[in-house]
Amino acid sequence: MTKSPVEDALTAQAAVPVKKTVQMPVGVPDYTLTSETREVPASEPPVWPINKDLKFVGQSIERYDGVAKASGRARYTSDVQLPGMLYAKFVSATVPHAKVVSIDTSAAEKHPGVRGVHVIQHVLGNAELRNPALDQAKYPVVRYAGQPVAAVAATTPYAAEEAAALVKVQYDTMPFVVDDVKARRPGAPNVFPGAADEEGSAGGGGGPSDVKQTGNIHGPSIHKRGDTDQGFKDADVVVEGRYVTQVQTHSALETHGVVADWKPDLLTVYASTQGTSGVREEMAGFFRIPLTQVRVITEYMGGGFGAKFGAGNHGVVAAALSKKTGAPVRLMLDREEEHLSVGNRPSSDQLLRIGAKKDGTITAIHLVAYGTAGCGTGAGCAGPAQNLYQTASLHTEENDVFINAGPGTAMRAPGHPQGAFALEQTIDDLAAKLSMDPIDLRDKTDSHPVRRVERQIVRESDLWKSRNPVAGADQGAVKRGVGLAQSVWYRFVSMGSSAEVRIHRDGSLEVLSSVQDIGSGVKTVMAQILAEQFGVPPSQIAVKVGDTNYPEGPQSGGSVTTLSLTPAVRDAAWQASQKFLADIAPALGATPRDLVLVDGEVRSRSGKMEPIAFRRAAAKMTSSQIAVQAKRIPDYDPKKYLTYGGVDVAEVEVDTELGRIHVRRVLSVHDCGRPMNPAQTISQINGGVIQGISFTLLENRLLDPVYGLMVNPDLDQYKIAGAREVPDIDVRLVEAYLGQSSTDASGIGEAAGVVSIGAAIGNAVYNATGVRVRRTPMTPAVVLAALRAQAQGKEMA
């Protein structure tokens, strides 16, 4: 039998890598579209044209699981019920800082519903002491109120709750600090007795481990380019400001949790996670069992936003209780535990100074940032200052400040909403000081080719044209303003990402990967790719994800999912189609090289054969299925297009008497490589904008300084944006072809709105009032204080 070109290529590649040269579309249609040459492995599929010339990819195909979600059929981790399943409940620390003297579980064990009790020996999530011996304690030291101490498993949720309350924990309390400014002062109670570090997760976050620690200050982590002293000497103007942002919790609607089912040969974990493979790895490591004995399943996931990676305390405890009791154990956190113990976006307190020439050329950027990730690290927020603008010199210092609060973790674009809040308002100040248009200034200092196009779109928009360049010009108490800000994120590729495509003899098609669909719609996109390859409707493709029994897909953090996985899916689909043609060619009396698969038909290039429908052709397969697994290959030109982003414009009304900010309209212009499914991408951008508004105006984790407890660990006092806070959002999706992979997709989750909208609102408030609000959340009290300070001729502290 003759080999297909793909098999030829694969065989050859095993010995000597065989490359081919292709022309790929690069740039933004209608603006900068051109074509570039790439050298790619010969096994790569043909280059796709831009979206308008594709049938399924790039189209707003209905969400693969839309009906399941809208009809309540979608089964999330919290919906899993197994026969004999027990309900577990944490016993959590009631004090913010203490050594645990004793844990008496006898009364809990006597509760008639209780089947198992577990005392935690190692707490996950907190920063770990470089020298663990410093703690000198029998049980893990409590570093925040809400830290899990023990857990019970019982036959009903009520019994679990009652029994948890019967566990007696005796504490030897220690002095504590929950205010990050106080925690920085000499003599403040130390959260850790020595240096401690928290690693990041697959979603990012975490802090550096090679920095010094003084008291509660973990840092600085210094990043330098050029000489900032000289840069400021060279500057014609200098602008500076102190910016403060609060701690935000992820507040996903589905809390963290698992159902763990320990059997002698297999631990099955139903997990609400952003990374099935990461949960599997950590479970196997923790219990010292092979990866083959752990299976993690995430059919549907009710939101993560960066907080749901790894096994977690809940996962390990549920598995331990399942092992102990011989029954499946469900441990879903309640809303209070969710706020306290499984992550948050760290705060920031930034002093930012920028020097520039009269023409807008930036000569120096200097940032000193402190922030708290509670008893974790990861408050660094210098990303935007380091990566958004060209500068002759740069100096950034990032410091984590430990306080007795739950550890921070990655949250949607870690560090970037905080960093952009300061940077983009300071750039706006610079524009005002130079009497330059904010877009002209950015055109001068930001060389990113796609953001240049995005600014052009903004410049031509009615919303931007309606902006009065004179700040605070409106008469009356309610003043209108318009402001813009830019976002930046990075092209991270998860190289292990794999998928398998199967063609069955009945003509049905499936694609499998352990990747989890966290709401971004990767299932839909996978179906679209197969539809494009085989010419059948996406609704006829079976997509199987969220199960570590399938080939390992990416963990969904840092906007990696679509850009990492889709090329593997397309490569597998393409290679499967080539194998398929080779397999059926003899039965059709044709040569494989003469056959093509187009629009759901097998056709002869030479016209020797009548077209035959794909389904009928599949019946001629020599085996019951053809399966091909493919893995993500490196970007075609890995040195190019390392960042992407967008520009957001906000229109606000500021009530200067009540201090209320109303965001009326948002224009959100964003790029994500080739948009695979515009409707789903726009959904994510809407979400980024709304989460960003929520962060900027509403959310605040409040800690009581006297008792060290969170006073609003719920969803009524911890306020997130609802329907009435949502402005009219106009999303302009920019197709930005990069020529980087067989799908040329990028990510959108991080860059979407959430990075830039805070500063856009800040700039709009300044435009409305002539007053800069440098603190979030911009509550009425904060706004009024800023207005008052301005009226009294001084800056708000």
Footprint on this chain of other proteins (rule: CB under 8 A)? 60, 62-63, 65-76, 78-79, 81, 157-158, 250-254, 300-303, 305, 334-335, 518-521, 679-680, 682-684, 686-691, 694, 714-716, 720-724, 726, 728-729
296: tokens are: 């993690």
Rounded-to-integer distance, Cα 613 and Cα 576, Å: 17
Compare residues 639 and 724 and give the one whose CB is closer to other proteins: 724
The helix (H) or strand (E) run that includes residue 604 is strand 601-604
Q: 90: how many CB neighbours lie within 10 A of its CB?
A: 25
Phi-psi region of 30 (alpha: psi -120 to 50; beta: other; left: phi over 0): left
Query: Cβ 276 to other proteins, closest distance in Å?
Result: 16
Q: In the bound complex, what is the minimum distance in angstroms from residue 74's beta carbon to other proteins? A: 6
| CB nearer other proteins, residue 517 or residue 735 | 517
- 89 vs 143 by CB, closer to other proteins: 89
Q: How far apart are CA 447 and CA 347, in angstroms?
A: 30
* Cβ proximity to other proteins, 215 vs 687, nearer residue: 687
Query: What is the rounded CA–CA span in Å between residue 275 and residue 306?
Result: 10
Angle formed by the axes of helices 678-697 and 757-769, nearest 10°: 60
Find the shortest distance in angstroms from Cβ 85 to other proteins. Answer: 10
Least distance CB 681 / other proteins (angstroms) = 10
Distance in Å, CB of 611 to other proteins, minimum: 33
Taking the C-alpha atoms of 125, 126, 129 and 130 in order, what is their torsion angle to the nearest 10 degrees?
A: 40
State the minimum distance, in angstroms, from the CB of residue 97 to other proteins.
28
Give the integer Cα–Cα distance in Å for 726 and 666: 10
Helix 312-325 × helix 276-287 angle, to 10°: 50
CB-CB contact of 90 with 333 (8 Å) = yes
Q: Which residues are within 8 A (CB) of 177 and not within 5 positions of it... i.e. 6 or more apart?
A: 183, 188, 189, 191, 216, 403, 404
- The owner of tokens 């010199």 is 393
State which H helix or E strand residue 761 sits in.
Answer: helix 757-769
| Nearer to other proteins (CB atom), residue 236 or residue 336 | 336
Residue 667 β-bridge partners: 649, 730
H or E segment at 297? strand 294-297
Residue number, 591 or 691, with CB nearest to other proteins = 691
Closest CB to other proteins among residues 503, 729: 729
**CB–CB of 413/758 below 8 Å?**
no
For the bound state, the minimum distance from the C-beta of residue 397 to other proteins, rounded and expressed in Å, comes to 33
As a whole number of angstroms, the distance between CA 314 and CA 258 comes to 7
Q: What are the two backbone dihedrals, phi and then psi, of residue 148, each rounded to the nearest 5 degrees?
A: -65, 140
Cβ nearer to other proteins, comparing 64 with 262: 64
Report residue 277 as tokens: 């493979």
Distance of CA 733 to the CA centre of its chain: 19
Cα 699 vs. chain centroid, distance in angstroms?
19
**CB 425 to other proteins: min, Å:** 23
C-alpha span between 522 and 270 (Å, rounded): 19
CB of 763 to other proteins, least distance (A): 21
Q: In whole angstroms, how close is the CB of 641 to other proteins at the nearest point?
A: 26
Question: Which residues, 6+ apart, have CB-to-CB distance to 358 below 8 Å?
Answer: 236, 237, 434
**Shortest spacing between CB 67 and other proteins, in angstroms:** 6
Q: What are phi and psi of 791, to 5 degrees?
A: -60, -35
Q: Which is nearer to other proteins, 183 or 318 (CB)?
A: 318
Residue closer to other proteins, measured from CB, 293 or 686:
686
Whole-number minimum distance, CB 645 to other proteins, in Å?
A: 19
User: In angstroms, what is the minimal distance from the CB of 498 to other proteins?
Assistant: 24
777 preceded by cis ω (within 30°)?
yes
Kindly state the tokens that stand for 17: 């890598």
Give CA–CA dist 461/675, Å, rounded: 22
Q: Where are the alpha helices (DSSP H) in 356-460?
A: 383-387, 416-433, 438-445, 449-459
Token code pair at residue 335: 């809303």
Q: Is 538 in contact with 529 (CB distance < 8 Å)?
A: no
CB atoms within 10 A of CB 506: 12
Q: How far is the CB of 251 from other proteins (least distance, A)?
A: 6
Half-sphere exposure of 289 (CA within 13 A, CB side): 18
Least distance (Å) between residue 691 CB and other proteins: 5
Query: Is residue 314 within a helix (H) or strand (E), and if so which, with residue range?
Result: helix 312-325
